[in-house]
């Protein structure tokens, strides 16, 4: 059992209040949580009550932080979890927030993968696009499906071929071709794609 000895508005977040018990900082909570639980100076709080209040407030805090992160741009489940961990949100509150946001359609790894893959496939081959999606936390299966379903225009690799041809125009043709193949494969294009792109260029 402990007694609330002071309540102070948060300096960084005015919607939260710092609760002091027996002269020392005990925890922070949203003002509406404090009001709903009748937190006031002089009130006694048991350990069980404190834990219940912290769980209740943790859920609200996790969801509020998550919504703020998502307001900037779409995120994967992994990115959101990582961000919430940085805010020291309890693990169970993180998982509840993630599940809630998935239920209401605010968090969807497949939608994220589809949108990001469209952007990536304008600059890279499928292999690199999949790698970059996975770096964002998209599961491999979803990343591969997104890259495959969206597909890629031949003009992307053809554009690289044209630029590389210009870059290596004064070099030995055989060496220039090998350099081009390495450069294109480093961009994530498969060998067969590269070979066909070079053939198309030669046939122009």
Residue 163's alpha-carbon distances to 109, 159, 169, in angstroms, are: 34, 6, 10
Give pLDDT, residue 203.
67
70, part of any domain: yes
The CATH number for 63's domain is 1.10.10.10
123 & 160 share domain: no
What is the pLDDT, as a whole number, of residue 154?
85
Q: Which residues pair with 21 in a beta bridge?
A: 4, 24
pLDDT in tens, 70-89: 999 999 999 999 999 998 88
H helix count then E strand count, the chain? 10, 4
161 and 183 share one domain: yes
**Together in a domain, 160 and 145:** no
Instruction: Report pLDDT for 1.
Output: 75
pLDDT of amino acid 135: 96
Q: Is position 28 within any domain?
A: yes
Residue 51 maps to a domain: no
Looking at residue 86, its pLDDT comes to 94
What's the average pLDDT block by block, 10 residues per block, for the chain (204 residues)? Answer: 85 84 87 86 88 87 92 95 92 93 95 95 93 96 94 86 89 89 92 88 71
- Whether 121 is covered by a domain: the verdict is yes
Say whether both 115 and 141 belong to one domain. yes
Report how far residue 102's alpha carbon sits from residue 194's, in angstroms, rounded to the nearest whole number.
39
Count up the domains in the chain and report the number: 4
**50 in any annotated domain:** no
Residue positions counted in the chain? 204
| Boundaries of domain holding 1 | 1-45
The per-residue pLDDT for range 127-166, each reduced to its tens digit, is: 999 999 999 999 999 999 999 998 888 888 889 989 998 8
């Amino acid at each position: 059992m402990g007694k609330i000895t002071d309540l102070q508005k948060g300096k960084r977040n005015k919607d939260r209040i710092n609760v002091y018990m027996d002269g020392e900082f005990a925890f922070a909570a949203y003002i509406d949580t404090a009001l709903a639980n009748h937190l006031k100076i002089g009130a006694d709080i048991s350990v069980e009550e404190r834990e219940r209040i912290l769980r209740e407030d943790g859920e609200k805090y996790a969801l509020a932080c998550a919504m703020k992160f998502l307001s900037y741009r779409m995120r994967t489940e992994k990115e959101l979890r990582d961000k919430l961990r940085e805010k020291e949100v309890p693990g169970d509150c993180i998982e509840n927030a993630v599940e809630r946001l998935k239920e209401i359609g605010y968090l969807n790894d497949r939608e994220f993968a589809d949108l990001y893959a469209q952007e990536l496939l304008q600059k890279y081959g499928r292999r690199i696009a999949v790698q970059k999606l996975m770096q964002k936390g998209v599961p491999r299966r979803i990343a591969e499906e997104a890259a495959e379903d969206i597909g890629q225009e031949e003009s992307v690799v053809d554009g690289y071929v044209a630029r590389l041809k210009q870059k290596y125009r004064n070099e030995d043709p055989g060496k220039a071709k090998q350099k081009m193949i390495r450069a294109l494969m480093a961009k994530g294009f498969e060998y067969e794609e590269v070979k066909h792109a070079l053939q198309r260029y030669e046939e122009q």
